Amino acid sequence: MPVFDFNNAPAKDQEPECTYEVFYSNERTASADHPMLVLGDKEAGLSHHACGVFTNPVRKTAFEWKEGGETCSVDIVKIDARFVSLLKWLGENHINVCLSGEEREEGYCVYRIREMAFGGGSKLSAEDGFLQFMIERLLSSDAPSMEIPEEEEEEAGDSMKLTSIQSITDFMNCAGRTLPDNIRLWARRNLAVARSSEVSAEERRHAQRALSIMMNIQWKGNYFPAVDPKEARRILDEELYGMEQVKQRIIETIIQINRTHTLPAYGILLIGPAGTGKSQIAYAVARILKLPWTTLDMSSINDPEQLTGSSRIYANAKPGIIMEAFSMAGESNLVFIINELDKAAAGKGNGNPADVLLTLLDNLGFTDNYIECMIPTVGVYPIATANDKDQISAPLMSRFAVIEIPDYTPEEKKVIFSNYALPKVLKRIGMEKDECTLTPEGLDAVIEIYKKTSGIRDLEQAAEHLAANALYQIEVDHLRSVTFDGEMVRNLLG
């Protein structure tokens, strides 16, 4: 996309002259080797931190600064296509900026742009946080992105939120192309509603709120990096003891990414007794995929509208829990953990809320009644947990790769109690390992008492009870340590 220079035009009818070339880059981080733009600083007059303004591209394509009371100017010779609109916006609004760059043979390579102060323009969102927010979005977008250099953490764009109509408008003008096509068209329509004087204040408020939600989500592509099987196994081993077949099945399910670089066609449904670590497995998968995660507790949902949101025709309308989950994650690629899928309330007059999940699980897009726009879900990986698969409808079951989590054997429970549960409790309450110990008979007694309970939560509570009792004896009776035998354990826990 050429930008033209009218700097030295002697007459209005003279053909504009293109002063620089546009290059296309997919680099996620700006640096001197991969700059945002290059200035033609032939006389090497620019310092590492140059402060000035970009002149309006409608008139000329240059950077101006003051030196010794005189105005100096250099032309732009190259620019990353992703930043053409941003520079035009900076110039039109006379934004005073500080450039960080490095002199190279091709010119002054700019890799950071920071706003210094108001430059006399009329824009309202004149804070550096907003500028860094837009730059980060542009860098993370594909060709015309990873994060900007972490030079000053307080200036990171992550803390910037688009809430005002002015900031949303500026973002659409500068970085609107980073949005999916349907969302970009939807945003322009809602901007028109939010600005209109022909609609009610309530409609304008709803339009602005919906825009703020959608603009603060980073809409990413559907490319996912390969998974390291060894690292995946290490993470699963940290969260889950034993259960080799379960770990193998999980890795086999997600390893498809290494060939397709897209998420598997089916999510994971973990079915097993309470306390067997299903939620920990879900969090581990999110770590393996290096994606943010959000949770949805189906046992607390009794109305489909809680998931799909309410229509804007109501004064108290709001988006649904699913849309809020996207907003909390801040991006469209995430692991969606659906807890207690089998406990979704049904038969209460409004249908089964779990059926709302069908479109989300199909990766065909999800529509929230409040947002009124199809949300792309190709970057959503669902992981559900349940205790009883008979309570889950066949359509839902067919959309998951089902992995059954068996209960732990008595021998596995012994290892978990001795090597994980008890040491964890002792460390938390500040006790040494030798201050609370069990004889082999004492350990057998613990396992015998809880042999009919599923999972390991009761074992963790038993460890808490034993450690607390040992600490009491040490503090009150001034013992150096306590060793529990079988009889002591049965008297305390039995």
Per DSSP, 455 falls in state S
pLDDT tens profile 436-465:
999 999 999 998 888 888 778 888 889 999
**What pTM, to 2 d.p., does this model score?**
0.67
Q: How much is the CA Rg of the chain, to the nearest whole Å?
A: 30
| Residue at 97: amino acid letter | V
CA distance 387 to 275: 10
Domain 229-404 matches domain 410-493 at the CATH topology level: no
| Residue at 356: amino acid letter | V
CA distance 83 to 85: 6
348: confidence class by pLDDT, cuts 50, 70, 90: low
CA distance 494 to 489: 7
pLDDT tens profile 374-393:
988 889 999 999 988 888 88
CATH code given to domain 229-404: 3.40.50.300
Grouping H, G, I as helix, E, B as strand and the rest as coil, residue 259 is: helix
CA distances from 27 to 153, 194, 423 (A): 21, 35, 47
| Among 447, 424, 408, 451, CA closest to 246 | 408
Supply 167's token pair: 């900031």
CA distance 401 to 285: 14
Supply 178's token pair: 């980073």
pLDDT tens profile 249-278:
999 999 999 999 999 988 999 998 887 788
Instruction: Answer yes or no: is pLDDT of 398 > 50.
Output: yes
In this structure, of 28-32, 70-74, 329-333, the range with the lowest mean pLDDT score is 70-74
149: confidence class by pLDDT, cuts 50, 70, 90: very low
Residue 331: other Cβ atoms inside 10 A: 15
178: confidence class by pLDDT, cuts 50, 70, 90: confident
Are 380 and 364 a contacting pair, CB within 8 Å? no
Mean pLDDT value across residues 61-65: 79
351: confidence class by pLDDT, cuts 50, 70, 90: low
Per DSSP, 24 falls in state -
| Domain residue ranges in the chain | 4-125, 229-404, 410-493
pLDDT at 350: 59
- The per-residue pLDDT of the chain, averaged, comes to 83
Output b/e per residue, 180-191; b: 16+ Cβ within 10 A.
Answer: beebeebbeebb
Instruction: Answer yes or no: is pLDDT of 293 > 70.
Output: yes
Residue 109: other Cβ atoms inside 10 A: 23
Higher pLDDT, 286 or 19: 286
pLDDT at 51: 84
Instruction: Answer yes or no: is pLDDT of 81 > 60.
Output: yes
Grouping H, G, I as helix, E, B as strand and the rest as coil, residue 57 is: coil
Residue 273 CB contacts under 8 Å (≥ 6 apart), including other chains: 387, 405, 407, 454, 455
Return the CATH number of 410-493, one of 1.20.120.1200, 1.10.287.610, 1.10.8.60, 3.40.630.10.
1.10.8.60
pLDDT at 59: 47
DSSP string, 422-468: HHHHHHHTT--GGGEEE-HHHHHHHHHHTTTS-SSHHHHHHHHHHHH
